[in-house]
Amino acid sequence: MKLSVITSALLAACVAARPEPVLQIRQSQVDFNFAGNKVRGVNIGGWLVLEPWITPSLWNRWKNNPAAGPVDEYNLCRVLGKSVCQAELKKHWDTWITQNDFNTIKSYGLNTVRIPIGYWAFTLNSGDPYVQGQVAYLDRAIGWARAAGLKVWIDLHGAPGGQNGFDNSGLRDRIGFLQGNTATQMLAVIKKVAEKYCQPAYRDTVVLIEVLNEPMGPKLDWKKLSQFTYDGWGIIRREGPTWVGYSDAFLPLPKWNNRLGPQNKVLVDKHRYQVFSEGEVSRSYWQHFDAACSARWDFTGSNKYVVVGEWSAAMTDCARWLNGWNRGARYDGTFQSSRSYGTCNDKGNVDTMTQTQKDDLRRFVEAQLDSYEKTHGWIFWTYKTELGNRSDDWSYSRLVNRGIMPKPPGSRRFPKPCG
């Protein structure tokens, strides 16, 4: 498919040297007041962007020889071929998430769903093995959300070349974004998304478009990343009053203070996990709990609205394939670790926990919720995962059903757990 070209006039209008446009926006045009309402939601992970640890059944044909399996969505479609990949993914898109799931999410007392989707859903670049069809399901999901009374964040989760080296970008172990013309390609996708979803027909439900999930800021050129983010904001802003979100890119929040502010209908998405380093997985329960309580100080220094757009109940990285297909865990010493801190065999399954363990997990969750309520809201990762994969502590629905996640989210079994 031929990529549409962003005109030089549009790019010129987005450069940082140009004064920020002043828009007269009536509040009735935007049906969510981030200043006055807390975002409380879940991510719809593993649906329109694949992650092997969320839905390992899509990789079942390699379960007896995982070393031969493709490590991400890009390579899954490359290995299967487009016709087989299309059929496999259509079946997955049709069944993984339905209207009933959105009704259930609303029944939990939540108000928002964040829906990841890759650039390839809107444009295929030369040589891409990806298949398309995701946009029809995104549109269907927006209708489900409207019917359930939920708001939608459209989260552009993968960029050309890969923005972070994680499988959630579609392309693992490669960070090619901001090289060559990849920024221009991604801005063209943002324009296509904004032209459609900023229009009045969607504004009652689609309240925010996130320009890019988790770019690896420490490994990317800051000037290029900052300019891309600003340009993405400018494109969305010129299409309508829909809010713009962008990732903190694993950088300190104050680093973004020279770019825009809440008056420009922009917020920063900060992700907070406690399992992706050896120092974190080596913590005792009470050290994890204290870190959850102290998280409220992580959000100071920003001049923008801040939402914790991803977090989980996990205290280990034991969910199978969480660190990538055919990779082990830091916790048990099978991935990037010099030692083991325990076994993963008894982790991530709420049905085998004692009541004391369930209470401890509930207290840990409540401590995080209390911290994240100090921001403008939070969105849990993720709504559900496949069973039997040591991943219950990542599944909001599973945690609610077992009494570990508060329902509604403001209820507390341990009032003021942080004192």
Backbone φ and ψ of 66, nearest 5° = -60, -25
- How would you class 142 by CB atoms within 10 Å of its CB: exposed for 0-12, middle for 13-18, buried for 19 or more? buried
Nearest to 281 by CA among 342, 201, 362: 342
CA distance 273 to 315: 9
Q: Please tell me the number of Cα atoms within 13 Å of 250 on its side-chain side.
A: 12
Structure tokens at 363: 């207290």
The DSSP call for residue 344 is S
Rounded to 5°, the CA angle 72-76-82 comes to 140
Question: Which residues, in sequence order, are CB contacts of 182 under 8 Å at separation 6+?
Answer: 159, 160, 161, 176
**Strand (E) or helix (H) holding 356:** helix 355-372
Question: Which residues, in sequence order, are CB contacts of 17 under 8 Å at separation 6+?
Answer: none
Nearest to 109 by CA among 152, 142, 146, 150: 150
Q: Which of 73, 210, 280, 310 is catalytic?
A: 310
DSSP states of 52-118: TTT-GGGGGGGTT-GGGS--SHHHHHHHH-HHHHHHHHHHHHHHHS-HHHHHHHHHTT--EEEEEEE
Structure tokens at 132: 């398309």
Q: Which of 51, 73, 210, 214 is catalytic?
A: 214
Distances, alpha carbon 355 to alpha carbons 120, 202, 359, in Å: 45, 45, 6
Structure tokens at 95: 């069944």
* Gyration radius of the chain over CA positions: 21
Whether 214 is catalytic: yes
Catalytic residues: 214, 310
